[in-house]
Amino acid sequence: MDLRFTADEIQFRDEVRGFFRTALPASIRRKMELGQRLSKDDIVTWQRILNAKGWAVPSWPVEWGGTDWGPVKTYIFKEEMQQAPAPDPLSFNVSMVGPVLIAFGSEAQKKHFLPKLANLDIWFCQGFSEPGAGSDLASLRTAAKREGDHYIVNGQKIWTSRAHNADWMFCLVRTSSEGKPQQGISYLLIDVKTPGLTIRPIHTIDGEHHFNEVFFDNVRVPAENIVGEENKGWTYAKYLLGHERVGIARIGAAKHRIQRAKALAADVMIGDTPLSETTRFREKVASIEVELKALEITQMRVVANSVRLPKGAADPTSSILKLKGTELQQATTEILMEVAGANAMIREPDHLWGTATEPSIGPEWTTTTAADYFYMRAASIYGGSNEIQKNVIAKRILEL
């Protein structure tokens, strides 16, 4: 038993760290450090830099542009990326539709889509949730009816992140009402520019536009865009649950926020004492650091264990990582709120977007704090709410 990284792993970490230091464009780094919102261009630019290096899709098989790193190095890579801090490659492409196509797609789909997914030539969004199908996803009703060599899609999706940036959507649709609800679902790829498809923005409590409603009114989708077999879509979607074990806890991002909070607190004066020197603040931060360290090791245990699992098998422990990881993401945004104090309540969207022409009213870094805090509440809701994660753990780990 040795919790330290091997010499080879440390060398790899230094290589990755060096790459992020030099390859990440200064403007993107600055936005990331200040917590400012990234434009579509920023995300595309960065993913293409990664792809040119061969690092956009490290978890994919080598033949599709991936690496042979294995879980430990992949983990190191992701943590370093979050701590740089650099943006994640687009998860819809890299961690969701990509792996599903690799596992279940046709050769033609793989050849057509995978290189474009890696290079972000095509931006995918996820069409899963519906107004009546949230945690109970299998009750979804958006219908796809086969007519000749097309599916005709009618219905509505909601909470569709960045649909307004997207070129394509991977979508769960109902193709049958026979049997259990899970048995009549198919996994369909839809070009969002198809006539009859409408995207409307939903503005969230951070004042931003992340989510959308998507309406389907007789949208004609070529039948060849179905992934795998008809009515097997639920299996394909479930394949991803617990599959993305590495980096799910986002320790690197939480660490980065703690590093910032500590540095910024040194400049916030409470009378003659910097906030960073007060006992209350120090103990509150130390408390989070303890939980973070514990979760970091829990994450490494899951990573180490995943070497032993059959390829593609899910580790239910990853639900623990999601649960605790999101709590700590939220706790770290709360600490930054506390450091920013009343400044956090000044709303200056230009500064959030990095497009301001005038100086901010308070310190510039505080212009993004509240938006981060508000938006981070979503972390314990999306991807299966934390309550759903607890149901999963109770059933699959505790066997209750």
Q: Which stretch, 20-28, 163-171, 174-182, 282-290, contacts other proteins (CB under 8 A)? A: 282-290
Neighbours of 303 (CB within 10 A): 21
Tokens of 141: 């009703």
**Is the separation of the CB atoms in 367 and 35 below 8 Å?**
no
Amino acid making up residue 375: Y
Q: Which is nearer to other proteins, 52 or 304 (CB)?
A: 304
Strands 168-174 and 124-127: parallel
Closest alpha carbon to 64 in 97, 95, 99, 33: 99
Rule CB under 8 A: say whether 258 interacts with other proteins. yes
Cis peptide bond prior to 85, omega within 30° of 0: yes
Instruction: Provide the minimum distance between the beta carbon of 181 and other proteins in the complex, in angstroms, as a whole number.
Output: 20
390 binds other proteins, rule: CB under 8 A = yes
* Cβ proximity to other proteins, 34 vs 44, nearer residue: 34
Nearest to 249 by CA among 335, 324, 334: 324
Whole-number minimum distance, CB 255 to other proteins, in Å? 6
Q: What are phi and psi of 218, to 5 degrees?
A: 50, 50
Q: Using alpha carbons, select from 263, 251, 205 the residue that is nearest to residue 34.
A: 263
In contact, 151 and 226? CB cutoff 8 Å? yes
Q: Does 174 bind other proteins (CB under 8 A)?
A: no
Q: Is 266 in the site for other proteins (CB under 8 A)?
A: yes
| Spatial contact of 330 and 322, defined as CB atoms under 8 Å apart | no
| Residue 285 contacts other proteins per CB under 8 A | yes
Q: Does 11 bind other proteins (CB under 8 A)?
A: no
Report the nearest approach of other proteins to the CB of residue 363 (Å): 15
> Tell me, what DSSP letter sits at residue 310?
P
- 13 part of the interface to other proteins, by CB under 8 A: no
Q: Does 52 bind other proteins (CB under 8 A)?
A: no
220 binds other proteins (CB under 8 A): no
- Among positions 110, 232, 262, 377, the unique one binding other proteins when judged by CB under 8 A: 262
Q: Which of 158, 324, 339, 384 touches other proteins (CB under 8 A)?
A: 324
DSSP 17: H
Interface segment toward other proteins; rule CB under 8 A; list 48-56, 93-101, 175-183, 281-289: 281-289
Q: For other proteins, what does the binding mask look like between residues 288 and 307, x meaning CB under 8 A?
A: -xxxxxxxxxx-xx-xxx--
Beta pairing partners, 360: none
In b/e form, how buried is each residue of 34-61, taking b as 16+ CB within 10 angstroms? bbbbbeeebbbbbbbbbbeeebbbbbbe
Count residues contacting other proteins (CB under 8 A)? Answer: 51
Q: Does 320 bind other proteins (CB under 8 A)?
A: yes
Q: Does 84 bind other proteins (CB under 8 A)?
A: no
255 binds other proteins (CB under 8 A): yes
The CB-of-309 to other proteins minimum distance in angstroms stands at 14
In a 3-state reduction of DSSP, which class is residue 291?
A: helix
| List of residues contacting other proteins (CB under 8 A) | 1-6, 9, 72, 255-256, 258-260, 262-263, 266, 276, 279, 282-283, 285-287, 289-298, 300-301, 303-305, 317, 320, 323-324, 387, 390-391, 393-394, 397-400
